[in-house]
């Protein structure tokens, strides 16, 4: 009677990078709703915080159009139909900001991942290349014997988004050939790019025949310390 009511609704929206996006919408309806706009909170493990804020802003814009009439159902329908457009616009804005700040090292992060295996290797590699391109990440997918490493550089929010995709998408197949999520990945290092590190200009898939060749790739990028700290234990 004095605080109104709060409730959470969870919805799945398809279409984004061929995966389901799970949105958690928290509505707080004040006592004099719908004459007053509801408070809305948006969360999703598959979206960045900035994207969630963009979705919230768009929902509040829509809510203003329905002032004085029940609106929650209409808002849920709207976000299911327009999420992809909001995310695209958000990505465009982000890319424009990135373009403006190119040439600086501010906010550029680096991620080193280790994988146990890739059963459906060709499909897996194609998926990783697609994610890297979409998120404007550069680096290397490296194969050396049984060792599989992914080294990525880019905006910190994009690095975080890549990790979410890597953990939540069905990227490989299990022993019976059924699609499965990646469960054998380890994050070896996640850190800010330093001045002595060289920036990769592209994302490339490379195979190395010897540990020395792999080491040379790291050293060329100014990452000798990164190699010596994390890779030798994997060679044993």
The first and second tokens of residue 163, run together, are 């990790």
Q: Tell me the per-residue pLDDT of 2-23, one tens digit each, with 9 for 90 and over.
A: 778 888 899 988 755 566 788 9
Q: Which pLDDT score, from 0 to 100, does residue 197 have? A: 84
* Domains observed in the chain: 5-91 (3.10.110.10), 108-234 (3.30.70.100)
- Position of tokens 């990452």? 223
Q: Which comes out higher in pLDDT, residue 3 or 226?
A: 226
pLDDT digits (tens, 9 = 90+) for 176-217: 999 998 888 999 999 988 887 888 999 999 999 999 999 999
pTM of the model: 0.56
pLDDT value at position 78?
93
Residues 6+ apart with CB under 8 A from 32: none
> What local confidence, expressed as pLDDT, does residue 98 receive?
40
Q: What angle do CA 15, 167, 164 make, to 5 degrees?
A: 65
* Residue 103 confidence (pLDDT) above 80: no
DSSP letter assigned to residue 47: S
């Amino acid at each position: 009677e004095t605080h109104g009511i709060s409730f959470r609704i969870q919805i799945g929206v398809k279409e984004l990078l061929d995966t389901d996006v799970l949105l958690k919408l928290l509505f707080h309806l004040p006592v004099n709703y719908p004459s007053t706009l509801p408070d809305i909170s948006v969360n999703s493990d598959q979206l960045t915080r900035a994207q969630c804020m963009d979705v919230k802003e768009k929902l509040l814009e829509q809510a203003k159009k329905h002032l004085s009439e029940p609106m929650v159902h209409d808002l849920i329908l709207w976000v299911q139909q327009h999420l992809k457009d909001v995310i695209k616009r958000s990505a465009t804005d982000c890319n424009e900001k990135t373009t403006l700040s190119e040439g600086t090292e501010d906010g550029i992060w680096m991620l080193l991942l280790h994988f146990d295996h890739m059963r459906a290797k060709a499909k897996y590699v194609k998926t990783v290349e697609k994610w890297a391109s979409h998120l404007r990440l550069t680096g290397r997918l490296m194969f050396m014997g049984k060792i599989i490493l992914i080294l990525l550089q880019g905006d910190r929010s994009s690095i975080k988004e890549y990790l979410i995709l890597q953990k939540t998408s069905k990227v490989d197949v299990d022993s019976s050939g059924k699609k499965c999520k990646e469960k054998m990945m380890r994050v070896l290092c996640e850190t800010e790019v330093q001045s002595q590190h060289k920036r990769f200009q592209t994302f490339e898939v490379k195979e190395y025949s010897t540990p020395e060749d792999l080491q040379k790739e790291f050293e060329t990028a100014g990452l000798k310390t990164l190699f010596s700290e994390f890779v030798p234990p994997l060679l044993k």
